[in-house]
């Protein structure tokens, strides 16, 4: 009885929209092509950043390496002497600063602007008063914080690190501009601040070269990088660059030697001046285009594989070009000669006349 009173609910048909019809949508945006993984290896014993400040040189180097792909690793190797060495320019700057401090203390020179403390923002009219204030107050406070963190353990240590992290970072920024490093000119700290892993090796000859080569071979075996950026002028690295090229890795060398063995082996070579000026970033499209063309050509190269060719030959069948001549031999042995077809001088050898009754020249269908 109630079957006649069926309530029909109207539902609109679902409209399926194609993803390709959406403006600005592409599947490449969902799964973009992965960038080339770049690794940077820096031999500080052979190529220290003498002509540029360490932090600025490291940042420029990282920018140049990032133009070739995604930088996954940055390593710097040196012995103790490289970190304790002070360049000539830095020594001259320190002498000038010391002379200026003496003149300020005597009142012969007045600074155009007062010196500001980077921690408490206090003003001082001589640089030596600023240094004394920083050492007596802020350096002592920072040492107390570090001792408190080192003496704590577990959850309490985590809370103290989180509590003092901002103050410690503020102290480090101010100390870089006020205090003079006790050893060297702060090479290791500046490189770490720029994102490099700094490894100190022993004082033995070529210890940095050996450590760098071992780590580079290990990264190539694990396939962690696809582009090797080497900062050095040492020709002993030519062998490791050849091995990287044999493994189809991109190779980039940064050094000041114009006619070195490394630059002849590497795909691309730049000097420190070109890196600072940004030449590597400008030529990246041209260099990466050459690498892509080389990869395409290598894919098109034919290489002989006996096992693969045997499989292909077996699937298509083996052709046997041997002819059976036993019938003709039997006829000659029985005294019967096989008639040969003679072609006249006037015609071509592939044209056979019908008059010789040899056969019809009509093509078979």
Domains observed in the chain: 37-84+187-300 (3.40.50.1010), 88-179 (no CATH)
pTM of the model as a whole:
0.65
The tokens for 220 are 């190539």
The tokens for 213 are 């080569």
Give dist(CA 229, CA 221) in Å, integer: 17
What is the layout of strands, in order, in the sheet containing 250-254?
197-200, 70-78, 37-43, 227-231, 250-254, 268-270
The string of pLDDT tens digits covering residues 168-221 is 999 998 998 888 887 778 888 888 888 899 888 888 888 888 999 999 999 999
Residue 1 in this model has a pLDDT that exceeds 60: no
Give dist(CA 338, CA 323) in Å, integer: 17
Q: How sure is the predictor about 167, in pLDDT bands with cuts at 50, 70 and 90?
A: very high
Q: List phi, psi (to 5°) of 200.
A: -90, 130
Q: Average pLDDT of 86-111?
A: 88
Give dist(CA 281, CA 294) in Å, integer: 20
Q: Which of 332, 338, 335, 339 is nearest to 356 (CA)?
A: 339
Q: How sure is the predictor about 346, in pLDDT bands with cuts at 50, 70 and 90?
A: low
Is there a contact between 53 and 181 (Cβ–Cβ < 8 Å)?
A: no
More confidently predicted of 100 and 358: 100
The tokens for 197 are 């892993």
């Amino acid at each position: 009885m109630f079957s006649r009173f069926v309530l029909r609910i109207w539902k609109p048909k679902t409209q399926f929209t194609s993803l390709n019809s959406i403006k600005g949508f592409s599947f490449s945006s969902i799964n973009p092509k992965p960038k080339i993984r770049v690794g940077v290896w820096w031999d500080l014993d052979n190529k220290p950043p003498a002509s540029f400040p360490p932090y600025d040189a490291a940042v420029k180097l990282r920018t140049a390496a990032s133009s070739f792909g995604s930088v996954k690793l940055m390593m710097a190797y040196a012995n103790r002497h490289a970190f304790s060495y002070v360049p000539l320019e830095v020594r001259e700057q320190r002498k000038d600063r010391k002379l200026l401090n003496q003149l300020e203390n005597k009142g012969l020179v007045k600074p155009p602007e007062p010196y500001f403390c980077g921690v408490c923002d206090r003003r001082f009219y001589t640089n030596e008063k600023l240094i004394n204030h920083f050492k007596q107050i802020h350096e002592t406070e920072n040492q107390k914080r570090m001792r408190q963190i080192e003496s704590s353990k577990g959850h309490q240590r985590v809370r103290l690190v989180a509590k003092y992290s901002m103050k410690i970072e503020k102290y480090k920024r101010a100390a870089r501009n006020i205090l003079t490093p006790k050893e060297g000119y702060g090479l290791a700290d500046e490189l770490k601040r720029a994102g490099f892993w700094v490894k100190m090796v022993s004082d033995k000859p070529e210890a940095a070269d050996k450590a760098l080569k071992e780590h580079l071979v290990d990264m190539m075996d694990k396939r962690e990088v696809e582009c090797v950026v080497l900062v050095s002028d040492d020709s002993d690295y030519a062998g490791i660059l050849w091995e990287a090229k044999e493994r189809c890795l991109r190779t980039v060398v940064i050094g000041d030697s114009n006619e070195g063995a490394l630059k002849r082996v590497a795909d691309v070579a730049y000097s420190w001046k070109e890196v600072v000026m940004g030449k590597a970033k400008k030529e990246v499209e041209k260099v990466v285009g050459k690498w892509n063309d080389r990869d395409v050509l290598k894919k098109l190269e034919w290489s002989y594989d006996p096992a693969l060719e045997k499989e292909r030959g077996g699937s298509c069948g083996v052709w046997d070009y041997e002819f059976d001549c036993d019938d003709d031999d039997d006829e000659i042995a029985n005294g019967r000669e096989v008639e040969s077809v003679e072609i006249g001088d006037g015609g071509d050898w592939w044209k056979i006349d019908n008059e010789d009754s040899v056969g019809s020249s009509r093509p078979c269908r």
